[in-house]
Amino acid sequence: MRSDAVKTGMQQAPHRSLFNALGMTEEELKKPLVGIVSSYNEIVPGHMNIDKIANAVKLGVAMAGGTPVMFPAIAVCDGIAMGHTGMKYSLVTRDLIADSTECMALAHQFDALVMIPNCDKNVPGLLMAAARLNIPTVFVSGGPMLAGHVKGSKTSLSSMFEAVGSYAAGKFTEEDVKDFEQHACPTCGSCSGMYTANSMNCLTEVLGMGLRGNGTIPAVYSDRIKLAKHAGMQVMEMLKRDIRPRDIMTEKAFRNALTVDMALGCSTNSMLHLPAIAHEAGVEINLDIANEISAKTPNLCHLAPAGHTYIEELNEAGGVYAVMNELNKKNLLYTDCMTVTGKTVGENIAGCVNRNPEVIRPIDNPYSEVGGIAVLRGNLAPDSAVVKRSAVAPEMLQHEGPARVFDCEEDAIAAIKGGKIVAGDVVVIRYEGPKGGPGMREMLNPTSAIAGMGLGSSVALITDGRFSGASRGASIGHVSPEAAMGGPIAFVEEGDIISIDINNHSLNLKVSDEVLAERKKNWTPKKKEVSGYLARYAALVTSADKGAILKSL
């Protein structure tokens, strides 16, 4: 056992004395040491219940003959961090989480791990760590929040942000906003739509790193506790059979993840995280394959914010495995991939029935014949941009309009709420990329303000930043190269005409190459004074089209 390095032999007597200080018995030290990576904290709603999940995992490990030992991982609540300097510290935690988990696991020589994440960067960060460490690992998340109820309808966090925009437009009273505030987020858990946290938890199932239901069983259901116990037991089976993350997270597994991503209509953040996780697993994902996969993958789900169904309903309809089984009817998945169950994808999804064709459309009656995410290119985004096509109004799939240019999110929000943005405009927010932000902030506030003011089907937003999974509309992010790196988005001027054609994957500025070259010659990059971790991050981070991974030294 790996843990023998800290438990066995005369040279390890000092180590054993420290285990004695922990109150560990000789019997416990004879068993495999299993690290329980708990993301519990008291500031993130998706993590406030993880103490109960962790205790259930520990029980499962102990029942199966292991010695569970818990240590922490950090997590940021993107909702609380939204709209201020805190959002600069969201994406950057993904690498902190991966690095710190690597440190803890190797410093203490754990034999296996159970990862307990739940929120946006916490899930991919721990998946990156799992791929990097490559010791037997199972994931079990804290689970999704139940949908809220306002004025007789189900709702979620995205409606809460849009309510603020409606108030600014004079459509809502303060009492209306208060009603949303009190009832949009009714339980613990990751926010109830197909936002980034739930997208990544669902894709963890698809990758084969989580048990069935990991992405969809609500946080408040007792089944979530049972799932956690089974995860603890299963990691011991993986240890016995020496099944490791890189046996599971293969190129085929990532193609499966992209396929299900398209069918579910996941957050555009998955286009940042899947390449970063794959990189740690020794697999390179070029975003060009996203359009290739999307072209043959029907969009089967319109979960909030794209529609009016929520993760709890996806769970009741059969969950991620039911979606996968629909896709498999047209042989769209690699079914021979190994998973944490010790079985293949094909064995796992066999017989998983779609119980609600209104929530999961049958494969022969999809919302669209193509997937929920599109990668765009053109002279405005030579290296790519990303849009959640399934959340775009049909009339905005093709659009031309004048650029309204802002060098930061705050200026754009002021203009939107001040009534300075009108139907037909294309809002451009730049210097918000991985380096330029730094930290690549999410633009949920401006997209929600646009939607709340009734402009969601007539105004587009383009940024080198990114979007929350809660954003909807023609929200095009991850523009690469970013402005801070001299990408063409830096040279857009007020009133330039921008042409968007999502169906044909194009994003173009209707300005000649000669004019762009002249603007570039006279360009001076805007620099932001940053220090501490953000300064180190900005120095090392790569472009969004590469997954915003950190350069290897």
Amino acid 354: pLDDT:
98
Radius of gyration in angstroms for the set of CA atoms belonging to the chain, rounded to a whole number: 23
Q: What is the pLDDT of residues 455-484, one digit of tens each?
A: 999 999 999 999 988 788 899 999 999 999
Q: Of 444, 527, 512, whose CA–CA distance to 160 is shortest?
A: 444
Q: What value does the mean pLDDT take over residues 275-292? A: 94
Indicate the pTM of the whole model: 0.96
Q: How many CA atoms lie within 13 A of 82 on its CB side?
A: 24
Amino acid 168: pLDDT:
85
Q: What value does the mean pLDDT take over residues 515-524? A: 95
Q: What 3-state class would DSSP assign to 306?
A: coil
Known catalytic residues are 468
pLDDT at 169 over 90: no
Q: What 3-state class would DSSP assign to 493?
A: coil
Q: What 3-state class would DSSP assign to 298?
A: coil
Q: What value does the mean pLDDT take over residues 96-114? A: 98
Q: What is the pLDDT of residues 119-149, one digit of tens each?
A: 999 999 999 999 999 999 999 999 999 999 9
pLDDT at 321 over 70: yes
pLDDT at 527 over 90: no
Amino acid 83: pLDDT:
86
Q: What value does the mean pLDDT take over residues 64-78? A: 97
Residues 6+ apart with CB under 8 A from 481: 382, 383, 487, 488, 543
Distances, alpha carbon 258 to alpha carbons 33, 255, 327, 328, 336, in Å: 34, 5, 12, 14, 16
Distances, alpha carbon 175 to alpha carbons 150, 186, 445, in Å: 12, 18, 20
Q: 324, 349 in Cβ contact below 8 A?
A: yes
Q: What value does the mean pLDDT take over residues 516-538? A: 93
Amino acid 552: pLDDT:
79
Amino acid 470: pLDDT:
79
Amino acid 553: pLDDT:
66
> For a pLDDT cut of 90, what percent of the chain falls above it?
93
Other C-beta atoms closer than 10 Å to the C-beta of 182 total 11
pLDDT at 165 over 90: no
Q: How confident is the model at residue 444 (pLDDT cuts 50, 70, 90)?
A: confident
Q: How confident is the model at residue 360 (pLDDT cuts 50, 70, 90)?
A: very high
pLDDT at 103 over 90: yes
Q: Of 213, 30, 254, 36, whose CA–CA distance to 137 is shortest?
A: 36
Mean predicted lDDT score pLDDT of the chain? 96
Q: What is the pLDDT of residues 17-35, one digit of tens each?
A: 999 999 999 999 999 999 9
Distances, alpha carbon 285 to alpha carbons 12, 280, 290, in Å: 43, 11, 9
Q: What is the DSSP letter of 397?
A: S
Q: What value does the mean pLDDT take over residues 294-298? A: 97
